[in-house]
Amino acid sequence: MKILLDNGHGITTKGKRSPDGRLLEYQYARRVANAIVAALTAQGYDACAIVPENADIALGERANRVNAVCDTYGASNVMLVSIHCNAAGSGATWMNARGWEAWTSKGQTQGDRLADCLYDAASKCLPKDIPVRTDLSDGDRDKEESFTILTRTRCAACLTENLFQDNRADVDYLLSPEGFETIVRLHVEGIKNYVAKYGKK
């Protein structure tokens, strides 16, 4: 199984930061994605980041990179997780919403199975005061939207929103060594569970 990590946005993306500027989404997503790749690689998994650049690579190009890997390995042997941080407002002020959630494309696809594995890991790894946010209206926990990175890619794909960059408590947690390590670990565990269920290492 080829494991692909996408890190949202780029150094030139406007906004997408905590109101106090301590957390920059493009930078945090890259730190998390790189740490996930390193942890999985150290355990013998085949993982890589599809956007090694700091630039904001266009979504169509990101999807093309993923689909080129699908061409080589077969889409059923590829999985993609796109790493983001959430925001409740414009980024100008601190807001109240907190927690972790994951998104898939609409309808039931292999991405929903990947999201299930990530939700299981998030519920297990995150401290109890950080909510795991769900949408149960369609019978599963993930939220669904036609994001390009989910709909234009042919493999199992899931986008994670790793807490709110405009919630002060979430940002404190994300920037703490324990918080960073937990965000990484929940992805590593979720991905490993998915590979164990649906693929070859």
Please give the residue ranges that form the binding site for Zn ion (CB under 5 A): 8, 84
Q: How far is the CB of 184 from Zn ion (least distance, A)?
A: 17
Neighbours of 165 (CB within 10 A): 26
Cβ distance to Zn ion smaller for residue 163 or 191: 163
CB of 159 to Zn ion, least distance (A): 8
Nearer Cβ to Zn ion, position 2 or 9? 9
Residues 6+ apart with CB under 8 A from 181: none
Q: How far is the CB of 191 from Zn ion (least distance, A)?
A: 19
Buried (b) or exposed (e) across 12-46, using 16+ Cβ within 10 A? eeeebbbbeeebbbbbbbbbbbbbbbebbeeeebb
What CA–CA distance (Å, rounded) separates 153 from 142? 18
Query: Please, which residue, 91 or 190, has the CB nearer to Zn ion?
Result: 91
Which tokens belong to 58? 């266009």
Is 70 or 158 the residue whose CB approaches Zn ion more closely?
158
Rounded to a whole number of angstroms, the minimum distance from the CB of residue 104 to Zn ion is: 16
